[in-house]
Structure 1
Amino acid sequence: MQQQVTGAFYGIAIGDALGVPVEFKTRSYLSENPIDTLTGYGCWNQPAGTFSDDSSLTFCTAESLITGYDIAAMSQIFVRWAQEGYWGAHNEVFDIGHTTRRALQRVATGTSPLISGGFEEFENGNGALMRMMPVAFFLAKENDIHLRYQTVKEIAGITHQHFRSVLACFIYVEFLRTLLSTGHLQESYLQMQRAVNAYLNTQSFNPAEVKHYERVLLQNIAEIREQQIHSSGYVLHTLESSLWCLLNTSDYASCVLRAVNLGGDTDTTGAVAGAAAGLHYGINNISPQWVGQVAKSAEIGQLANRFMAAINSTSTQ
């Protein structure tokens, strides 16, 4: 599992950093000016290898889970990131979503993290989905799918409480868990579909909400044409595009470059796809040059090791 954990931690940071300079660029622009390696400056004027809030909040999530599951402690680490740049690539925050910012302001002023997240339909950006990768490792040995759902719901809910965001996070975590044990992309995808659909059938969730995920849960997202894959900051689009990139490529670099070159919310698509690809292909299949170039490279490796040690020592989770 060490290969997978370290691969996922570097995988998210590199995918994120590849996308940072070209965030908001269109697909047509990137088809003419494709990203093929880590570049600097661009839209956020950051040096090459700089990751964004996607990786920072993922690392904050991992940091919190090292000491066990404590939603209040996790939310305070998120506030520390927002206020002090903790786990920022350069110890500062240059990119934060509106829903996340509002939620963390609530937490900072005393609101419980169980009710701090945005719950309106317009608050379904990808700010919870982007930080879910460590949760999949943390829940790897948890056999109760309802408990897994509740845990994902609470962690996502610190910033995003709407069911649509929670369901995206749950699907992603379930897919990563399956990938961890199965190791085969398409088989893992089918296993995730079976498990999630079976669970949804036991619950009284709003069918109109579940229907948003029809292409992911009832069809094969890999078979959708690229023109029909959207890569905006909307949580449904990020989940679909990330899975599509992973299932339509055969190595880490191809996956993250495909994700970033879709345009739009390039850093988050790159991060979510990159975490999954890094988990699947492992650290040995990620360019050592990229690993060396990414911001806080040594710290990421140390965090991955500490996280690995912590989840290995926890027998119940």
Structure 2
Amino acid sequence: MTDATLDRIAGALAGMVLGDALGVPGELWPREKVRSRFGRIEEFLDGPADNIVACYFKAGHYTDDSAQAFVVLEALLKAGTVPPAKTLADDLLEWVRSMNGFEINLLGPSSKASLLAWSKGEDAEAVTKLSLTNGAAMRIAPVGCLVEANEHEKLAETVARVSRVTHSTDVAISGAAMVAQAVASAVAGRSWDEIRTDIAAIHPIALVKGEPTWAASVLARLEAFEAMVEKLGDAPSEEDVSLLIYRAIGTGTMTSESVAAALAVALWCRDPWLAAVMCANMGGDTDTMGAMACAICGAKCGISGMDESVVKYLETTNGIDFRALAKRILEARANFTIGD
């Protein structure tokens, strides 16, 4: 059990970085522009100079999505619990400043505004309670590696406490919780049908932990996708499914779009490389969708089920050892608590 769990945790981390890095070139470009420029992305590419959000990243490097996930993970491992929001903010601010992140186009709008407030000693809640974007969900996969799959309340509360540093709305917290739950359930070795059931189960638990908003429900959009994809027939093509997600669900930076899209991709592709390629070529928030979808798929197949040459390339390029980090997470799981 321990070896299998370790393998799946490492797979979640490797999948997150895979989807993030492969999705760099066409980030926040329309679908047709991605195709016109690259044809079909099936290899790691530098961010183009004329892509104002991707131009900072070289081939195979992860972006702010995985970077923030690792910052949060280190804070959780150090504390053995969810540290105070101020501590998380300080850790994220240290990373932002190391990247000159407030001066370049690195952060999403909600994260940038809330972290700027934290940096000035201001009350960030004025920003976080209006944050509808995917900044909370994009960095949450490691939380799904720390908490047991059947502990829905603990997982939802952990997600909420981690997220509130930049995002405290119902949609942001529930969307992030669904991603974390999918990872946790995959780490537990559950079937895809069971993962889907768990995603639905945590949604209402997490939803009430956030500021109520008018944002569309991530779960409702996922259900809409499932109903629509059935109409495509028994064996729809990748292009048909990708286009359906792009047109009907949406692939923008809003949680209700990109998180629903990422869950749809993971549940349909069921393979980290296939999910990474679909997201990279989708159009929209390609790297963020890839990070979320591939973390789920990587957790399901384990790092042993991924192409070892791709894993080694990502480790070398980013200076990371997925198995060693997974071992630290596994050792921390038994004693991880959220307190009162």
Q: TM-score, normalised by structure 1?
A: 0.84
Match of 2:271 in 1: 251
Whether 1:228 and 2:238 are equivalent positions in the alignment is no
Amino acid at match of 2:111: T
Note the C-alpha offset of 1:39. Answer: 1.3
SS of 1:223 mapped into structure 2: helix
SS of 2:135 mapped into structure 1: coil
Match of 2:222 in 1: 216
Deviations 1:67-90 (A, max 9, x none): 21213332221111111139x9xx
Q: Which runs of 5+ in 2 are unaligned?
A: 231-243
Output the CA distance in 2 between the equivalents of 1:253 and 1:93. Answer: 30
Q: Which moved more, 1:164-173 or 1:261-270?
A: 164-173
Identical aligned pairs, as a percentage? Answer: 21
Output the CA distance in 2 between the equivalents of 1:239 and 1:248. Answer: 14
Q: Which runs of 5+ in 1 are unaligned?
A: none
Given that 2:134 and 2:254 are in contact with CA atoms closer than 8 Å, whether structure 1 keeps it comes out as yes
Match of 1:76 in 2: 90
Output the CA distance in 2 between the equivalents of 1:108 and 1:194. Answer: 36
Whether 1:155 and 2:162 are equivalent positions in the alignment is yes
Q: Map residues 136-285 of structure 1 onto 2, 5 A cutoff.
A: 136-140=144-148, 143=151, 145-197=152-204, 199=205, 211=217, 213-216=219-222, 220=226, 223=229, 225-226=244-245, 227-285=247-305
Whether 1:54 and 2:65 are equivalent positions in the alignment is yes
Aligned counterpart in structure 2 of residue 105 of structure 1, from 116, 129, 132: 116
Deviations 1:220-243 (A, max 9, x none): 378374332311111111111111
Deviations 1:166-199 (A, max 9, x none): 12112222232223324211321023314545x4
Describe the shift of the 1:166–1:107 C-alpha distance in structure 2 as closer, same or farther (beyond 3 A): same
Note the C-alpha offset of 1:299. Answer: 4.7
Match of 2:236 in 1: none
Note the C-alpha offset of 1:249. Answer: 1.3
Output the CA distance in 2 between the equivalents of 1:140 and 1:13. Answer: 22
Q: Map residues 277-296 of structure 1 onto 2, 5 A cutoff.
A: 277-294=297-314, 295-296=317-318
Q: TM-score, normalised by structure 2?
A: 0.79
Note the C-alpha offset of 1:206. Answer: 5.3
Match of 1:127 in 2: 135
Amino acid at match of 2:161: E
